[in-house]
């Protein structure tokens, strides 16, 4: 008769348990395995009355790549970590609005979570990095306060160039499963400096979205008054970022209270669905179109709802 000691029995049970765990993990479809080429879409659904639609499932969406429907292989409603660039307009008229955002920074940054990273950039006719990416949110708050107190608000507003430079700032950052986003705080009135689709393509290349917090001020109202008199066709102005934001899957909204708007913008970036599908065969660098829409059943539940998601990507 062969006898088994208690310790040997325990080791066998433990080994069997570890083996079962490994088998389960091996069978789990993972979107994060090396070598698996997936396209990611961060999406938001807006009802006809402007409310953000929550509680949708994978079956409620359909995705088309170059007009061909694709199978969604992974779907998540969890709040994923962020790589976020806060991009501040420091042109002449923006000081009051940016100061209001700074006063609301503590509460707004509470929308962030452990593991999120934030960088700060500023722009007028030039764009510069104020503070590199960090997970220290208290340091982010200090950086916002310090740069406002030490910055001279002056110059023009090159929004398109600044948006493009913010996208390029992601190129040197490691690719992780964090959602990449740029939040630009601006009056959205600037000089045309870039082709809009060129800027959009930069966002598609780095898998990032652009969102905008638009604030109104006396300077903005004066420009709009001039536009009304002489006609927008005679101005180089009106080169904003709304069209860019829409094509990247972001949004842009006007806030009469910059502080409240900042908090709302942070929530909008975080509260999104994440969908993945297998990348079709394509040449590296090829630009492909994407369309995300509600399924027939979901569309009946939410008539006239709009789906915000990027409209293209660059194959890798």
- For the domain spanning 82-270, the CATH number is 3.40.50.410
Average pLDDT over residues 139-162: 92
41 SS3 class: strand
Which one is predicted more confidently, 1 or 111?
Answer: 111
Which residues is 68 bridged to in the sheet?
Answer: 65
- For residue 107, give the H/E element and its range: helix 105-109
Average pLDDT over residues 1-16: 47
Q: How far apart are CA 181 and CA 167, in angstroms?
A: 9
pLDDT in tens, 158-168: 999 999 999 99
The dihedral built from the CA positions of residue 43, 101, 171 and 79, taken in this order, carries a sign that is negative
Assess whether pLDDT exceeds 70 at residue 128: yes
pLDDT in tens, 106-122: 888 888 889 999 999 99
pLDDT in tens, 44-53: 999 999 999 9
pLDDT at 102: 87
pLDDT at 57: 97
Domain segments of the chain: what residues?
Answer: 38-78+273-314, 82-270
* CA distances in angstroms from 22 to 16, 19, 25, 26, 73, listed in the order given: 10, 5, 5, 6, 21
pLDDT at 238: 53
């Amino acid at each position: 008769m062969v006898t088994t000691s208690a310790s040997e029995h325990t080791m066998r049970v433990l080994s069997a348990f570890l083996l079962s765990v490994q088998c389960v993990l091996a069978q789990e479809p993972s979107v994060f395995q090396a070598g698996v080429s997936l396209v990611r879409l961060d999406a938001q659904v807006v009802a006809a009355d402007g409310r953000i639609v929550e509680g949708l499932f994978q079956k409620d969406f359909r995705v088309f790549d170059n007009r061909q429907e694709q199978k969604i292989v992974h779907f998540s409603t969890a709040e994923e970590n962020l790589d976020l660039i806060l991009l501040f307009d420091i042109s002449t008229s923006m000081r009051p609005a940016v100061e209001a955002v700074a006063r609301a920074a503590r509460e707004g940054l509470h929308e962030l979570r452990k593991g999120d990273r934030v960088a700060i950039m500023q722009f007028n006719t030039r764009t510069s990095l104020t503070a590199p990416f960090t997970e220290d949110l208290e340091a982010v708050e200090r950086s916002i306060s310090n740069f406002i107190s030490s910055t001279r608000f002056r110059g023009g507003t090159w929004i398109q160039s600044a948006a493009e430079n913010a996208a390029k700032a992601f190129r040197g950052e490691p690719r992780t499963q964090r959602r990449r986003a740029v939040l630009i705080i601006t009056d959205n009135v600037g000089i045309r400096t870039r082709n809009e689709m060129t800027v959009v393509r930069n966002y598609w290349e780095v898998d990032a979205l652009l969102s905008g917090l638009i604030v109104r001020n006396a300077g903005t109202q004066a420009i709009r008054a001039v536009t009304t008199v002489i006609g927008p066709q005679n101005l180089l102005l009106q080169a904003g970022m709304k069209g860019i934001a829409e094509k990247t899957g972001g949004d842009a909204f006007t806030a009469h209270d910059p502080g409240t708007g900042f908090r709302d913008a942070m929530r909008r970036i975080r509260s999104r669905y994440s969908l993945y599908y297998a990348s079709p065969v394509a040449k590296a660098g090829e630009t492909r179109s994407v369309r995300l829409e509600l399924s027939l059943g979901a569309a009946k539940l939410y008539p006239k709802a709009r789906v915000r998601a990027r409209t293209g990507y660059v194959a890798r």
